[in-house]
Amino acid sequence: MKFTCLLDLASHWASEKGVDVPQLVAEICPADKPGDITLNCFRIAKGLRSNPMQLAQGAQEFLEAHQDVESVEVEKAFVNIILTPKATHEATVADAEAFFESVKLPEAERLNYLIEYSAPNTNKPLHLGHLRNNALGMALVEILKKVGHEVHPVNLVNDRGIHICRSMEAYKRFGNGETPESTGVKGDHFVGSFYVKYAQELELQVKALKEDEPGLAEQSTDKLFLQTEIGQATQRMLIDWENRVPEVIELWELMNSWVLAGFNQTYDRMGVYFDKCYMESETYKLGKDIIDVGLEKGVFYKREDGATEIDLKKYKLDKKVVLRSDGTSVYITQDIGTTILKADDFNPDAMVWVVGDEQIYHFKVLFAILKELGYEWADKLYHLAYGMVNLPSGRMKSREGTVVDADNLFDELHELAKAEIRKRFNGQELPADLEHRAEVIAQGAIKFMLLKVNPKTTMMFDPEAAVKFEGDTGAYLQYVCARIASMLRKASDSEVTDYVDWALLNHKKEKELSLCLARYPQVIQKAAQDKDTGQLGTYLLDLGKAFNGFYHDCPVLKSDVDPSLRRARLELSDRVFTTLKDGLNALTIDTLESM
RNA sequence: GCUCCCAUAGCUCAGCUGGAUAGAGCAUCAGAUUUCUAAUCUGAGGGUCACUGGUUCGAAUCCAGUUGGGAGUACCA
C-alpha cells in the first residue's frame, strides 16, 4: 500500500533531518480507533533514532495539511489518519490491472520450483491424512505460481515393498479371481480390502503360533512376522519380485493398475495433477553410484564392519548409514538418488517436499548429505512438514476402524451440500447444475478446512463441524462470490461507463473494504514465502467478512441509489469478487456464480 | 537418555520482524429478513496467553528454567 501522503511525509523528513528515511508502512487502523490507517511511530523511531512521540507530533502537523488527509489524531506514538475517500481507493484498488500485477514478485526473485507431494502407497485407499498432504501440495503449487514462480509438481508413488506384497499375497489366497470390474468396487478400495484381509489372517496365524509356543506370548506381531507361514510366503514374494519372477510381476502390475486407476479418480476429483510421476519400483535402486562418488570425495567412509556411513555432527546430527555392510541400500540412499534424478530432469532452483512432520529428522539428514555432496541447489531444499490430522477421539487408527476414508468423505459432503441447496430452493425447480454445485461446495469445504490452519499445526478434524457450511468455511467465501456474481448479473444490462468516481465511496465500510483488499498482494507473497496456506485462508475470511459488512450497510442496486454511486459500489464489489476468486483459486478452491 | 515441535476463551484456531484495552469461528444468550441470495449481519457474556524468572520504555511474541502433551532418535520405509 503506497499512500502518497506517507511518501510525501518520508521525503519531508528526509530533507528536514538530512537522513534516509525508510519506507513508511501503514497499518490498518484498529476498528475501535478513529482512523483508516495508522502510522506506528514506535517502530519508525528506532530506524531514525528519534523520539517516537515527537515524530508522531511532526507527522500529525505535516499530514493535517496534506490534501489526501481529512484528519489526524495522535494517541501515544500512533498516528491515526483518516484519508479522503479518493486517496483511499486510488492508492489501493482503483487500478485493477496494477493491483493484480503487484501480486507478482520482481523478475529476479522468481525461481523454478520442483514440488513433490502426495507420495501414496499402492496398497490402501487414500484417507484424510493424504487429503491434507494433497491439499497442501496443490495449494502450494498454485500460490507459488501466483507470485510468479515456475512450478513443477511431481509425485513419487510407493509401489513396491513388503506392504505391497501383503495385498498381493492376500489376493492370491482369497481373491477367487475377482476384480474391481466384477465386484464394482473402486480399484484402490478393492486392493485395500485384501490388505485388511491379510492383517486378519496374519493375526490368526500369530495367535496359533502363540498357542503352540506360549513362550512367544509377549512378542509383537511384527516380531513374529517371519515365523508365520503367510509372513514367510510374503517375504518370498518380495524376493521373487526383485528377481522379476514373471507371475509375481504380472500380479503386481495388475493390482497396481487397479490401485492407480482408483487414485486417479480421487486425484481428478480434487484437481490434483503432476508434471511427472516417479515410480519407486523404477527409482529404488538409485543412489548407490552416488555413494561411490561420495566415498572417493571423502564425504562417506567405510566402517570396520563394511557399512558405509557419514558423520553429520557438523550439522548437529548423528552418524547415518547409507549402505548396509552387505552393500545394499537403505531408504535414504534411494532418496538421495531420486532427488538427483529429479534435479537432472527439471533443473530446478529450489525443491520442496510435502511430507508429514514425523520425517523432519530424515529430511535434515538428507539435506545435509546433499550439501556435503556439493550440489549447488542444496541450499534451496525445503521440507514442508505438516502436522497430523486427529479426530476428536484421538489419532486415526486403522485397527480401530477410525480412519476417515477420502472418497467416503467426499461423497458425504457432496450429499450434505446437495441437501443444503435443496433446502434453499424449497420446492422450486432445482438448478440443472445441482451436482456440479454440490461438488464445488463439498471440495471447497474439505480443502478450506485443511488449508485454513497453519500447515505445521497438528490439527483436529471434527466431523460435526465439517458438515456445516457456516462460519469460517469455504462455503462462506463461495457464498460471498455468489452474492457478488448475482449483483453483477443484475447490473450487467444497465449502462456501464468507464468512469468510476471513487470519491463517492466515503462510507466506513467501503474504505475498510478497499484497505482490506489492498493487503492481498502482500498476503499472498508472504504465504508463498512462508509456504503457509493458513495466512491466505485467514486473510480471505477477513475479506469475506469485510464484504458482508459492506453488503449489509451499503445498498448497491436499490432503486434509491444514485447511478454513479451504484457504479462505484459495483466496481468495488467486482474487485472483491476477482480477489476472492483469485485467492480461492490459489487454494485450489473453485467459486460459483450461483449457490 | 538426547533432539525437535506444541501449550492463547468451554471447543477449534489466528495473532506478521516485540507496540494501543489479546482476536475470529463454533457453542450459549439477545436481536435483525416486504432481501441486492439469511450458507448472512448486529450485540452480549466468556482470558492469570501453562508456570517461574530475565531482557526492554513496552513481552502472548525474545532468552533461561519448570511442568504437561506430541513426534523423532535403526544396517525400517
Is A20 a residue whose pLDDT tops 90? no
Is A92 a residue whose pLDDT tops 80? yes
- Across-strand partners of A390? A460
Is A498 a residue whose pLDDT tops 80? no
When the pLDDT of each residue in chain A is averaged and rounded to a whole number, the result is: 93
For A194-211, write each residue's pLDDT tens digit: 999 999 999 999 999 989
Average pLDDT over residues A250-259: 97
For A554-595, write each residue's pLDDT tens digit: 999 988 889 899 999 999 999 999 999 999 999 999 999 999
Instruction: Report d(CA A428, CA A336) in Å as an integer.
Output: 60
Nearest nucleotide to A358 (CA to C1') is B71
Residue A401 is predicted with a pLDDT of 84
Nearest nucleotide to A570 (CA to C1') is B36
Share of residues in chain A with pLDDT > 90 (%): 83
Is A135 a residue whose pLDDT tops 90? yes
- Check if the beta carbon of residue A459 is closer than 8 Å to that of residue A404: no
A350: which residues sit within 8 A by CB, 6+ positions away? A111, A112, A113, A114, A377, A380, A381, A382
Average pLDDT over residues A221-227: 87
Comparing C-alpha atoms, which of A222, A190, A198 is closest to residue A124? A190
Is A493 a residue whose pLDDT tops 70? no
Instruction: Report d(CA A351, CA A367) in Å as an integer.
Output: 11
For A228-246, write each residue's pLDDT tens digit: 999 999 999 999 999 999 9
Place of cell 513508511: A24
Place of cell 486417479: A264
Q: Which long-range contacts (CB under 8 A, 24 or more apart) does A10-17 make?
A: A12/A62, A13/A48, A13/A58, A17/A48, A17/A50
Cell of A355: 511430507
A82: which residues sit within 8 A by CB, 6+ positions away? A34, A35, A36, A69, A70, A71, A72
For A375-394, write each residue's pLDDT tens digit: 999 999 999 999 999 998 88
CA to C1' distance (Å), from A471 to B35:
20
Residue A584 is predicted with a pLDDT of 98
For A55-88, write each residue's pLDDT tens digit: 999 999 999 999 999 999 999 899 999 999 999 9
CA to C1' distance (Å), from A473 to B49:
26
Q: Which nucleotides of B are covered by protein (CB under 7 A)?
A: 4-6, 11-17, 19-21, 24-27, 36-42, 57-58, 70-77
- Cβ of A525: how many Cβ atoms within 10 Å? 19
Confidence of residue A31 (pLDDT cuts 50, 70, 90): confident
Is A216 a residue whose pLDDT tops 70? yes
CA to C1' distance (Å), from A391 to B51:
29
CA to C1' distance (Å), from A136 to B74:
30
Phi, psi angles (nearest 5°) of residue A20: -75, 130
Is A1 a residue whose pLDDT tops 80? no
The DSSP code for A453 is: S
Nearest nucleotide to A324 (CA to C1') is B75
Nearest nucleotide to A470 (CA to C1') is B39
Nearest nucleotide to A552 (CA to C1') is B41
Instruction: Give the strand pairing for A37-40 and A301-302.
Output: unpaired
Residue A343 is predicted with a pLDDT of 97
Higher pLDDT, A486 or A220: A486
Cα–chain-centroid distance for residue A484? 26
Taking each helix axis from N to C end, the angle separating A434-451 and A474-491, rounded to the nearest 10 degrees, works out to: 130
Distances (CA, A) of A378 to A109, A310, A369, A375: 18, 17, 9, 5
Residue nearest to nucleotide B19 (CA to C1'): A42
Here the ipTM equals 0.96
Nearest nucleotide to A323 (CA to C1') is B75
Cα–chain-centroid distance for residue A113? 15
Instruction: Report d(CA A224, CA A204) in Å as an integer.
Output: 12
- Check if the beta carbon of residue A393 is closer than 8 Å to that of residue A402: yes
Residue A495 is predicted with a pLDDT of 63
Place of cell 510435502: A354
Average pLDDT over residues A393-408: 89
Dihedral sign from CA coordinates of A309, A315, A318, A322: negative
CA to C1' distance (Å), from A460 to B24:
17
Instruction: Report d(CA A178, CA A208) in Å as an integer.
Output: 29
CA to C1' distance (Å), from A178 to B74:
39
Confidence of residue A494 (pLDDT cuts 50, 70, 90): low
For A155-166, write each residue's pLDDT tens digit: 999 999 999 999
Average pLDDT over residues A20-34: 85
Residue A104 is predicted with a pLDDT of 96
CA to C1' distance (Å), from A32 to B21:
10
Cell of A336: 538421495
Is A185 a residue whose pLDDT tops 80? yes
Comparing C-alpha atoms, which of A378, A369, A247 is closest to residue A312? A369
Average pLDDT over residues A17-27: 83
SS3 A431: coil
* Phi-psi map region of A154: left, alpha, beta (phi>0 left; psi -120 to 50 alpha): beta
- Check if the beta carbon of residue A294 is closer than 8 Å to that of residue A373: yes
